[in-house]
Structure 1
Amino acid sequence: MQIIGVSTRLVRGDPQARGARRKDQWAIEQALADWLIAHGALVAAIPPAPRHSAMQIASSWIGRINALVLQGGEDITVTGAGADNRRDDFELKLLGLALERGIPVLGICRGMQLINVALGGTLRRVDCAPDGAKPVHSDAERYERHTHPVQLSRGCCLAQILHSTEGDVCSMHGHAIDTIGSGLEVEAWCPQDDTIEAIRVKDAPWIRGVQWHPEHHHGGCLPSEPLLSALMEAADR
């Protein structure tokens, strides 16, 4: 079985709760873990190490896993809105080492944004809908049931993987790519406002990001299985 490392997200504890729920926890969202396990992955949760040991531990993880998934979560610090510096710092180290060693990487939502920032790109706010208009990219009430269409570049690698150039995706994010990072290719965008929805590193064996959440896709969305199968195939090499 291939070992897929998943960078964990911070679930903040509630000081008013009882027991362990008072404490902060590093976690993988269950839908993501189930999605990976169902496709034959041995999932390894990777909590961020303190900065004094972050590089050593990140290097050890990259030496043990077959692929890396950067999952969604809180805004990254570079946007000015996030507060989770420890996670940002550690994930940037994981990603940098994966790039150096040719480890496949899939960035989901926040993970795609991190790939862009790591390569010198910038982010912007989205869904500041005027006059009470319905936002395109996130709906707190619907959350994982919220979808919008995407368009894929005809002939791009992702279109070949998904066997499609358009479809709906599950979306829940408040930031998006503004300027694209060095060495990145845009593979998909939202036709409603031209927000970038998928990227890949052009000169890497398999490093790509999607702004959507494939782990939550249902029958009305683009299929999620081909994307994960492609990741698993890359991990086998």
Structure 2
Amino acid sequence: MNETSFSSVPECLPLSLEFVDLKIPISGHVGEMKLVRYFLENSALLKKLTLPLAEHSVREKSTLKELLRIPRGSTKCEVLLCIYSKQEPLPQFGYVSRLHISLRVTVLKSLPTFLESFPNLKSLILVCDDDYEKMNETSFSTVPECLPLSLEFVDFEIPISGHVGEMKLVRYFLENSAVLKKLTLTLEEYSVREKSTLKELLRTPRASTKCEVVVI
């Protein structure tokens, strides 16, 4: 792939392409980076580019840094890195203050470990694209550094319906985020009518006395 070059841009890139999912484990080779750069620089409406990283590239900060520094044709483009590393901790990204994460419920238990890589995180948007009832089995045994020290805003783009696992997740952030200013929740329509869900949310103890819970 190192010899590959792109001399033209098809009409769909600047005019219509919104989502790209590369099923190629990115390890940092020149050709791979050319391909990623091609989509990022030429897709004016791109909303999300999903990249799976090869395990060894996760340990090499240079690959991650190069990916994050690539100019983007779309100001709204989110780069989603699918990182799989069971042997070693993820590298530290102290300069990252805002994250938009999309996770499957089955890997949600790894969220605290993942957040350890972002010690200065201030804003977190969390999306789960799975069966929320599976959250009931999720538990969190550790608290990443950013929760008590820096996290100020959490936005759950997860329709809360009152399942045990959902409430665990909300409680986890409220009880452990000492400088949290705002936690935003979206309730399922039927749960809005059930006062018990709202009452439970509002009664959850908060580590931050200045935390505002916004329900939309």
Tell me whether the two structures share a fold, i.e. TM-score over 0.5. Answer: no
The normalised TM-score by structure 2 is: 0.33
What's the TM-score, normalizing by structure 1?
A: 0.31
User: Greater CA radius of gyration, 1 or 2?
Assistant: 2
Q: Which has the higher contact order (CA 8 A, sep 6+)?
A: 1
